[in-house]
Structure formats: C-alpha cells, structure tokens
Amino acid sequence: MTTPVESTAKPAVQQGKVKDAQKKGKPIVAADAYPLELQPPPEFFSHRIQMFEQLKAQYEESVKSKPREEITITLPDGNEKKGTSWETSPMDIAKEISKGLSEKVVIAKVDGELWDLERPLESSWKRVFWHSSAHVLGEAAERHYGCHLCLGPPTDEGFFYEMGIQERPVVEADYPALEKLSEMAVKDKQKFERLVVSKEDLLEMFGYNKYKRYLIETKVPDGTSTTVYRCGPMIDLCVGPHIPHTGKIKAFMVTKNSASYFLGDAKNDSLQRIYGISFPDKKLMSAHKEWLAEAAKRDHRKIGREQELFFFNDVSPGSCFWLPHGTRIYNSLLELLRVRASPKLSRII
C-alpha cells in the first residue's frame, strides 16, 4: 500500500530566491543572521518624517483659522454635553464622563456612523482595529527589512501587508523579530496622526517607493489631496480611520507569509505578503489560538493522511493524490451517483 510522504521541498518563492542567489554567487545566509533592526535605519525615514512634520505644521495653522462655535453633543442615554467645533473630540467627551471609559474606548458613533476618536470613521471596530494593526506590522517590516511597502488592508481574519524586498525572501524564522518590533511600537503608544497632503507633496514624500508613486499617480487626481497616517517612523497613504494609539493593541501575532503580485497581476513585480492577527485583550488571543488548535485537528489534509485516504504534495499545489482507501470510497460514491442519478447525469458521469 502506498502511503503519503511529507514533502521536504522549500516553498517555491524561497527556492527561487535561493537559486537566484546561487547563480549570482551570493552566499546563502540564515534568517537569524540578520539584525533585528537595520542600523542606520533606511534613508527614506528622515526625509519622510521631515516632510510629514512640515506639512502637519501647515495643516495645524489652517485649523487655527477655522471658526470656533459652540456645539451640543447628545449621548445615547439622552444626556447632552457642550463642546466647541474644531476642538472637542469624542475622546474629550469620554474623558469627561469617566477616566475608565476614556482608557477603554476605541471608536465612537456619530449620527449613526462609526467615528474615529478625532475624525469620521467608515468601517466597523474590528476592521479599524486590524487596519491600525496592519500599520504596526508595516512599521516592523520597514525597520527589519528596509522594504518598500505596497498595500496593507484589514481582512475578515486579521490583516496583511505586501512589500517589495530585493535582498531576501520572508521566512518563518523572521516572525519573532517582526513580533518584537511590533511589541516595541505598541509599548511606545505611538499616536496615529492624520494629515491631508497634496498629490504633488505625496509624490515627493514617497519618491523612493515606485509602488506608492503608481498608486498616487493613478488614484489621486491632479490638483487634489488625500490623507496619510503616521505612527512612529511609519507613514503611509491611508484614508483611515484608526485607533488613537498603538498601545490599544494588547496582543499581536504574525501568522503566515506568502508571495503575491503587485495589484494581483502576474505581469507586475513579485511581492512578499505577511499576515497577522491582533486583539485588544490577551484573553482574546488565547481563545483564538485555542480555536486554531481545534481547527488544525479537523484539517482535511491531516485527516486524509492519518486515515490513508489522500495526500497533497508541493510538486503539484492544490492537487489531491488518492491512496487505495480513498480511491475505493471515491469510486463507490461515483457508482452510487450512477445508480441513483438521472440517465442524463449518468451519461455525464
């Protein structure tokens, strides 16, 4: 009887990188031989931060000229609070109600819409939280690899960030370093700062990154502006909204990595994609890990091997290779369909 054999082949993307390095005569270096953080940091850090601070100062000057008017804020229980336009934020109201509320609150809701604690929100709390966590992952990746970030959205199961890395592929051995840098960003309670920037200034700010330049040139109309967000040294194109600061993230984990193409087109550059998950409570992370462990027990790939039904191999990703037991079950099901199905379906089978 033929039994499945675990593949020892390296992921295709990593193999390709290794072969390229071998052809060029470059030594293959283990992942743990790389430093946690590049020293000195990538050159684009200082220029990007300098531009952000300059444009932020200009924006703050424009806000000072806005008229200050008294506004009334009606709370869900009917109570009313007084505020001032262009000054009072949802966080100010939360602090006025109680210190405990201000420490726990993540987002607000205004006129039926979710709001950032400082500006309008456009999506649910979970997606806002994971979107902010993606920025933390992007910061860790920039600090560790010196990479050029592409897109980093929230997903239904967490978040990911895509990036262009020339020197080496992302491997699982990199996860602890990425998590450590993310934890450092969380510990610093880096504030998410929003800034409206013109297309012209955006092209200068992200001049080092061809992926960002393409997005700016194709998505931002000439003569208009869009927003960027900053947390620590990481600044990225983003419409938000975000949580107040990175300290709201209490549990963070890198889950997997893969290859991708810029904008999902195989004709474009091959990128590295890193996935993660985060929670505002460590207990939620523990529960998530328990769920993953239970899901792993019910993984059809694992069950197929254990019951000698079928197996998969990296030689042909996604293809199922049937073993004798599995073949008998498969053929029996086909025969049942032939007997029970209509004559027309039987001819198709």
Q: What's the chain's average pLDDT?
A: 82
Pair 259, 191 in one domain: yes
Task: Give tens-digit pLDDT for 324-346.
Answer: 888 988 888 888 888 877 666 55
Pair 184, 275 in one domain: yes
Tell me, yes or no, whether 235 lies in a domain. yes
Task: Give tens-digit pLDDT for 296-318.
Answer: 777 787 788 888 888 888 777 77
Pair 174, 235 in one domain: yes
Whole-angstrom distance, CA of residue 300 vs CA of residue 333? 18
pTM of the complete model: 0.63
Tell me, yes or no, whether 2 lies in a domain. no
Pair 56, 74 in one domain: no
Task: Give tens-digit pLDDT for 214-271.
Answer: 999 999 999 999 999 999 999 999 988 888 899 999 999 999 999 899 998 889 988 9
Looking at the 3D structure of the chain, how many domains does it have?
3
Pair 265, 199 in one domain: yes
Tell me, yes or no, whether 76 lies in a domain. yes
- Show which of 78, 105, 132 is a domain's final residue: 105
Tell me, yes or no, whether 295 lies in a domain. no
Whole-angstrom distance, CA of residue 154 vs CA of residue 1? 46
Residue 218's SS3 state is: helix
Whole-angstrom distance, CA of residue 254 vs CA of residue 274? 7
Tell me, yes or no, whether 292 lies in a domain. no
Pair 39, 134 in one domain: yes
- Show which of 227, 254, 282 is a domain's final residue: 282
Pair 234, 343 in one domain: no
- Show which of 282, 312, 335 is a domain's final residue: 282
pLDDT at 176: 95
Pair 81, 56 in one domain: no
Q: Catalogue the long-range contacts made by 278-284 (C-beta closer than 8 Å, 24 or more residues apart).
A: 278/129, 278/130, 278/133, 278/136, 278/158, 278/159, 278/249, 278/251, 278/252, 278/253, 279/249, 279/250, 279/251, 280/106, 280/129, 280/248, 280/249, 280/250, 280/251, 281/250, 281/251, 282/250, 282/251, 284/251
| CATH code where residue 173 lies | 3.30.980.10
* Residue that has been written with the tokens 């040294």 in this structure: 233
Q: What is the mean pLDDT of residues 153-171?
A: 90
> What range does the domain containing 344 cover?
300-348
Pair 98, 146 in one domain: no
Tell me, yes or no, whether 141 lies in a domain. yes
Pair 190, 210 in one domain: yes
Pair 269, 135 in one domain: yes
Tell me, yes or no, whether 9 lies in a domain. no
Q: What is the mean pLDDT of residues 47-52?
A: 94
Tell me, yes or no, whether 291 lies in a domain. no
* Higher-confidence position of 73 and 8: 73
Pair 212, 307 in one domain: no
